[in-house]
Amino acid sequence: MNLDGKVAIVTGASSGIGQATARALAREGATIVPVARRAEKLEALARALGPDSQPFAIDMAEPNAAQAVHDFVLDRFGRTDILVNNAGILHAAPLDLFDLDQLRPMIALNYEAVVRTSTLFGRTMKAAGRGQIINISSIGAQIVAPGVGVYGGLKRALEAFTDCLRVELAGSGVKVGIVAPGTTSTEIFDDMKSRGEPGWDSFIPPMQPEDVAGAIVHMALQPERTNLARIQVYAAADSH
């Protein structure tokens, strides 16, 4: 199987897991709409993906972003086949040091944006009788530890929403799944490192973005009769 002729949207595509996923889906034949804030990086990625790729620069944390992406894709292609909600940020700190100004941005990007895009594209896919939504979570959704309550709590909420959406859309032709990676070396740890703290990817040999992208593509390549609802992929040295 391959993804020839499929239109795939990937958020957070300017770097890390999102960029690796866009590249991996394109290698399987999909036409990619990479979405992120950094226009220059998106343009460079789109050039590498080929002439059919249509980058869309926007901050997914903005309330109108999901609608803007939805309208852009429907206007250009008339449909969407795969939506990968990957964009996210991490702020983790002990109780005494947690910056509450980071709370709303994390809610907006890590949860609200996923709900908005999944809802809008889910409706369109349901009407078409086909499509797939893949939401990127984290093994952090299942970790109870100091300093990660907000990030892990939002990922747990994302998973609850995603599971409910999968059940609601069962039988409609629209598949919904979760990919939950463990420690992966990406820019998500830049916030920690900017405060002079080691990123989680410094404690063990981490996965690389391409490793997680492989799991996402594996989910996307399943036959229509199969919904692979969850993939949890760890770095080999992860002990959670």
Residues annotated as part of the active site: 151
Beta carbons of 174 and 133 less than 8 angstroms apart: yes
Q: Rounded distance, CA 204 to CA 202, Å?
A: 6
On the CB side of 61, CA atoms within 13 Å amount to: 12
Q: How many CB atoms lie within 10 A of CB 70?
A: 20
Beta strands in the chain (DSSP E): 7-11, 31-36, 56-57, 82-85, 131-136, 174-181, 230-233
